[in-house]
Structure 1
């Protein structure tokens, strides 16, 4: 029995119990509004409103000895951390505590009520979200910050709060006006490398290129307009971060100097996008902290991807600055060629900038891969990537080389195996230069249909780290 039928059947049963509910039954079971608005999925309609319900539940469990970080992979000045899984432990009275684990349930439920208007569909959206996660490191034992004997600290209670992730209204068709709490209209796409291992700095900024983290702040309380001009051109504009979601200070511990949180309130966002004739491209501009009448920081992100028969090319860049003479730039280029059973990809990246007007380290990286379809459902990938954290300093490089096998055992089961090595010529406090860490990983993924996916993955490292990960997810719409 379909879920919609079950819901409406329950409403019918309840409605027949009283004359009042019976009179409303025809209104509740009408689907004409949803059909006329082109809305499908799980819906409930009234005489003039269609309520669409979507949601998802994801679960992830990790267990092993993986919380440490492989020495030498380092932390970039303004690109985040590129850490490789490593083991660590705490010894108390001769007993070694080294196991780590985490259990994480992410869920969300979204309601969109839509009706027709003279300006196009008018909608109200509410999305509730919850992350319920517990993380345990070294079985709960830790060394106090001030030193001394290790002590047991009970893991923090899981966050069970349900939050309103989105709450906004919108109206329009080719031009849509939106206001409330939601994500940004900024476009940060067309910037991921094509090679299968990616690039070190790209991974550190969540794939691609990016300006300094959280500069400017976006999303939150917003007023936005999106307009489709035709011929593949879309323009977007918004006033975002009107609720000043910055903390008391901005940039503490990061690349930028601290600025009072309230001064970062209000971000003006403008976007131009194009999609057509094998090309997708965008330019996103942002100016932060405008509500006090002074632009405290600004940023630009741009990307373009071209697909021409057997070839794909991509270029992307990001730049940001603030009124304290801090700047950051990040660029990336990638190309891919497909020849029958082979696929070849090459990528490069670079990043740099200034801190208070003084140049910081310029960083560069390259990566490449070659893939081959051996038989139907079986493919292999060979690749590597290299990164120099400071082009002006010797012995500051890191690398990864790996081989991957992907085999579709059936229409619903896929096995992925990978072996490789991380390495660096950087010296570490407890080791000499020229460290390496060989690793192996295997994953079994299952997608039986119905939107359900699940996987089990095991990973072991030469440095002693190991990790087992189980995932399961299901979305409905």
Structure 2
């Protein structure tokens, strides 16, 4: 027994000594490959590779009388306006055989699952990424009847990546690319763009009308040039907060979408978008300039665009400026600029923003448009805050009575650590000489619950002066 204990003790001591010696040499002996690569979350490891798995499921259900039938009906003319009706609901209905059909509902499930396999290389981490995505989106307007009283059923929303309702509920490959590098990373495959479109959202609570229309910020004509898709990209951190990005994107030649009267071009002419980015982040400043040249594979640049933004944070103050410009064939271009400032004083936060847009199509000028917005927020007590705000937009500065506006007040109260209540009242309005109401008062409330574990849910109700109403339920869970 003593001899056995002595042998085991010697082996253990030798093992510890070897491990210590290996550690001195910088050799990892017992550390998991995921830890060695600095990767965490939900992982599976082999001797040389670490597989990260992440995903999310989101569900949303809406019901009420809120969706106008855009084929006709009795909608106020300004419901379709750029400003006044941007977020307004309408209680449109269809009468068939003496029966009124006015209920609307929507059921949407969004799902994605992402796998990233990473290993070490002489040039830095080498990885392969595969992201699968599914979208099931079913919409009923007026219980399935169109303005002519014909039953057409639901509108099914497919996935934008596959362009069509036929993909409703199908799993598609949203991303599939390889990458290698550390401070300089090379990427190739199917993925999003390296273009930086940040530093352009207004600070005021309600935002701005045109900013909302282009997904919160400033933007040129959509998909002119088109980015992402099949790509070859290089990004590099130059140090001191400076970074550069270069990408050759849209190599599959997806057709650009028409916007602001700009016609779509065929895929061959649209193929290939060169993207270059210079950005900075440090010392209270973030800034970027993104340049794009579209259709380069055929040797001719059919369209080009620039997006730039800068944000400065100075103690209690923030300022932001952003602009976008795009140019297309036949004297067609579009521009959009935005400025915003915010100041925080003890319990109060004040913000003011402004925007403008314009351009031309075929040498004919588009209407110049301007908008402003402002808000005051206050933290009343711990967990309770209020916001007061307004925004205004002029769709055509050259003629009168083309303005729309919104004024609103919001109360946010954290009932517990996991439950939050939000209430809002406000009004949309216009000075357009329309035959029906020029204002639409509304009220809405939301109860949000986040018990932890990545699970979130909410139920919200909204009612409008014009008779429209909507109830929305949401639930989501992400994992990584």
Contact 2:124 2:182 in 1 (8 A): yes
> Which has the greater radius of gyration?
2
Q: Offset at 1:390? A: 0.2
1:420-435 map, 5 Å: 420-428=426-434, 430-431=435-436, 435=438
1:87 to 77, 86, 91: 91
2:209 to 183, 200, 213: 200
**Cα distance between partner residues in 1 of 2:76 and 2:202:** 24
Q: Which runs of 5+ in 2 are unaligned?
A: 1-29, 69-74, 158-167
Q: Offset at 1:298? A: 0.4
2:124 to 120, 127, 138: 120
**Cα distance between partner residues in 2 of 1:328 and 1:157:** 32
Contact 2:78 2:84 in 1 (8 A): no
1:242 corresponds to which residue?
251
Q: Does 1:304 align with 2:310?
A: yes
**Cα distance between partner residues in 2 of 1:395 and 1:153:** 37
2:154 corresponds to which residue?
155
**Cα distance between partner residues in 2 of 1:347 and 1:35:** 45
1:15-164 map, 5 Å: 32-68=32-68, 71-76=77-82, 82-144=86-148, 150-156=149-155, 159-164=168-173
Contact 2:78 2:85 in 1 (8 A): no
1:378 corresponds to which residue?
384
Contact 1:31 1:44 in 2 (8 A): no
Q: Offset at 1:80? A: 13
**Cα distance between partner residues in 2 of 1:113 and 1:83:** 42
Q: Which secondary structure does the structure 2 equivalent of 1:263 belong to?
A: helix
2:363 corresponds to which residue?
357
Q: Which secondary structure does the structure 2 equivalent of 1:142 belong to?
A: coil
2:300 corresponds to which residue?
294
Q: Offset at 1:305? A: 0.5
Contact 1:82 1:201 in 2 (8 A): no
2:263 corresponds to which residue?
257
Contact 2:84 2:403 in 1 (8 A): no
Contact 2:84 2:429 in 1 (8 A): no
2:447 corresponds to which residue?
444
Q: Which secondary structure does the structure 2 equivalent of 1:186 belong to?
A: coil
Change (3 A) 1:321 1:70: same
Q: Does 1:335 align with 2:344?
A: no
1:173 corresponds to which residue?
182
2:374 to 354, 368, 373: 368
**Cα distance between partner residues in 1 of 2:132 and 2:363:** 44
Contact 1:176 1:227 in 2 (8 A): yes
Q: Which secondary structure does the structure 2 equivalent of 1:86 belong to?
A: coil
Count, aligned residues: 435
**Cα distance between partner residues in 1 of 2:258 and 2:277:** 29
TM-score by length of 1: 0.89
1:217-228 map, 5 Å: 217-228=226-237
Q: Offset at 1:31? A: 6.7
2:196 corresponds to which residue?
187
Change (3 A) 1:258 1:183: closer
**Cα distance between partner residues in 2 of 1:254 and 1:135:** 26
Contact 2:62 2:470 in 1 (8 A): yes
Contact 1:177 1:225 in 2 (8 A): yes
Contact 2:85 2:428 in 1 (8 A): no
Q: Offset at 1:155? A: 2.1
**Cα distance between partner residues in 2 of 1:283 and 1:81:** 33
Q: Which secondary structure does the structure 1 equivalent of 2:77 belong to?
A: coil
**Cα distance between partner residues in 2 of 1:264 and 1:346:** 39
Give deviations 1:348-391, integer Å, cap 9, x for gaps. 00000111122211000000001111111111111100000000
Q: Which runs of 5+ in 1 are unaligned?
A: 1-29, 145-149
Provide the alpha-carbon RMSD of the alignment: 1.6
Contact 1:80 1:205 in 2 (8 A): no
**Cα distance between partner residues in 2 of 1:80 and 1:47:** 60
**Cα distance between partner residues in 2 of 1:309 and 1:238:** 36
**Cα distance between partner residues in 2 of 1:142 and 1:359:** 35
Q: Offset at 1:323? A: 2.1
TM-score by length of 2: 0.88
